[in-house]
Amino acid sequence: MDRRHLLSDQDDVTGLAYQPMVPNTGQWTGTEVEPTAPPAVPGYEHLGPGYNDVPPPPMGFQHPQPPTTPPTTQWEIPAISKELANEAFVEYVSSHCCYSRKPTKEMIISDLVAMNTYRYRLETFTESRSTEWASEPYNGQLVDGMPGLAPGPWDVSVSAPALFQDSETHIRVPHTASLKGCHSCLNLGKSACNRCVTSGRVQCEVCGGSGITASQERCSDCRGLGRVKCTACSGVGSTPCTTCQGRGQLLCYIKLKVQWQNHVYVQVMDKRSGLPVEHLDSVNGETLLSDMNTMVYPVSSFPVESVNAASRKAVQEHQAQFTGSCRILHQRQTIELIPVTRVHYTWKEKTFIYFVYGAEHRVFTNEYPAKCFCCTIT
């Protein structure tokens, strides 16, 4: 039996969709009702919408520790042998389907020039904290309210992750929770149905709301009423509130977001060998110096002055960038020697060059002399 709405003309056949006047619950109109302000928590009175960054409290000046003084000798890795240079070139050519292997069999290596390059790296591992008001549907969970004093953002104990690894965690600040009626549904636990706008019925799609079919017969789907039961709400005119999940109440609290980030500064001392510097980003070298401390001291006694200058610049930039806005937990600086050998070879009375670089003995060249025709098409 169809449900009839008493004291309403919504069951009259008019051929038009019924548009009743209903209270605005902030859901079916597409507009979002702003929640009322949560209770003030001592120490968090100025907390606004969204995450609010909280600078760390001053810890006093931390004196950087100077690194172990490196020896004054010049570090150099000798150029690789002709056999190794040829072996790396053969492997490189084999990985390119359009490269003929003939030059690798007939070429004559005429010169090997060591162009070893230094790479300086500074890592600064920081911790930052921010807070925001958060809420979740109340399902009977513990309300840790005001009996105790809420700790400050930097007083909440948090276990730090492994050093120099990015991570993030969210924590409910103790003694900040309170119960609040849901602002989206006005504590009802349900919201007006978007489809039928609380009427429980929608226009019949078979007859277009007229109640009569094209053959001028009474529509069997809506029984001539022009409307049928709304399937979105099963005819009740409302759906469970998505904000409170039908509970009518929200548990409000202050959420603390803790972020650990590893900030990396890298500088390669380019010797203008002809090898594009970006190729060195993906290879390893030999570590000559590794210094790790809460705050590191710029390297000053390395035999190559450009490395010392890079260290001074990096340490100054990171201290200026992160001191005050977040807490520096640890720093690590390393100096690597990346082997680079420029190989000169002749083939068919012409001279060509390729590079063997990195501990992986990778090869780079932009002038291979025997490419197939398909590789020369532009």
Closest alpha carbon to 355 in 366, 370, 345, 365: 365
- Predicted local distance difference test score (pLDDT) of residue 63: 61
Give Cα 352 to chain centroid, integer Å: 44
CA distances from 14 to 10, 194, 211, 287 (A): 9, 21, 9, 84
Structure tokens at 159: 């276990």
Structure tokens at 62: 């931390």
Tell me if 127 sits within 8 A of 329, measured CB to CB.
yes
Residues 6+ apart with CB under 8 A from 307: 118, 120, 269, 299, 335
- Predicted local distance difference test score (pLDDT) of residue 275: 92
- The tens digit of pLDDT for each residue in 34-85 reads 666 677 788 887 787 777 888 898 875 566 666 555 544 556 667 789 999 9
Largest CA distance in the chain: 104
Mean pLDDT of the chain: 84
H/E/C letters for each residue in the chain?
A: CCCCCCCCCCCCCCCCCCCCCCCCCCCCCCCCCCCCCCCCCCCCCCCCCCCEEECCCCCCCCCCECCCCCCCCCCCCCCCCHHHHHHHHHHHHHCCCCECCHHHHHCEEEEEEECCEEEEEEEEEEEEEEEEEEEEECCCCCCCCCCCCCCCCCCCCCCCCCCCCCEEEEEECCCCCEEEECCCCCCCCEEECCCCCCCCEEECCCCCCCCECCCCCECCCCCCCCEEECCCCCCCCEEECCCCCCCCEEEEEEEEEEEEEEEEEEEECCCCCCCCHHHHHHCCCEEEEEEEECCECCCCCCCCHHHHHHHHHHHHHHHHHHECCEEEEEEEEEEEEECEEEEEEEECCEEEEEEEECCCCEEECCCCCCECHHHCCC
Over pLDDT 70: what percentage of the chain?
83
Tell me if 67 sits within 8 A of 297, measured CB to CB.
yes
Residues 6+ apart with CB under 8 A from 184: 25, 26, 27, 32, 33, 191, 241, 242, 243, 244
Closest alpha carbon to 290 in 67, 101, 54, 125: 67
Angle at 129 between CA 126 and CA 135, to 5 degrees: 150
Tell me if 331 sits within 8 A of 294, measured CB to CB.
yes
The mean pLDDT of 243-257, rounded to a whole number, is 94
The mean pLDDT of 183-198, rounded to a whole number, is 91
- Predicted local distance difference test score (pLDDT) of residue 74: 54
- The tens digit of pLDDT for each residue in 126-178 reads 999 999 999 999 999 988 876 778 999 999 999 989 999 999 999 999 999 99
More confident residue, 72 or 242: 242
